Structure 1
Amino acid sequence: MQEGQVQTRRLQGGVRIRVNSGLVWLTIAGCREDIWLKAGRCFDFHGRGEAIFEAVNGAAEFTVTPLPPKGCSDDTVRIAKLLPHGLIRWF
């Protein structure tokens, strides 16, 4: 988004909003406070609501992705390969 540009999205369920560049001013209907996110920061929202994003002090880029299911985290270890004799290789 360019500076001053506004984008509206309907948030449904748990989402993670991550700002990749710039500064974003975020207002979500029903929330008492506005959220300010700079590059590298993220905000997890659990619920539903109309969200308004605005790029402040220059262009901004952000993503909105679903949150992982409960009990899982971004650091979840995945099994890459089963080795002989039932050994497991972890990454």
Structure 2
Amino acid sequence: MEKVRIGIVANRFLKKEPAFANEELTYTMQGNIAAVIESGALPILIPITDPGDATQYLSQVDGLILPGGQDVQPKLYGEPESDLLG
């Protein structure tokens, strides 16, 4: 029987790190993957790419996890910037 496929939208780590040969990373926390596996589903990592590809990615999965990531610019939702932004 084919498992349900759950897409996990990946995050991007843009900081260059010597430990990763100064490459940018696409990742998700292992807990996200473990939770999908524990539920009996198959985790599918979805990279942040061209928004025009979103429909094609979404057509490949049965559900979607949006785990979050970097701060969203508050101006995009009508709020002032905070000193807490990182």
The two structures have a TM-score, normalised by structure 1, of: 0.24
Question: Which has more strand, going by share of residues?
Answer: 1
The two structures have a TM-score, normalised by structure 2, of: 0.25
| Greater Cα radius of gyration, structure 1 or 2 | 1
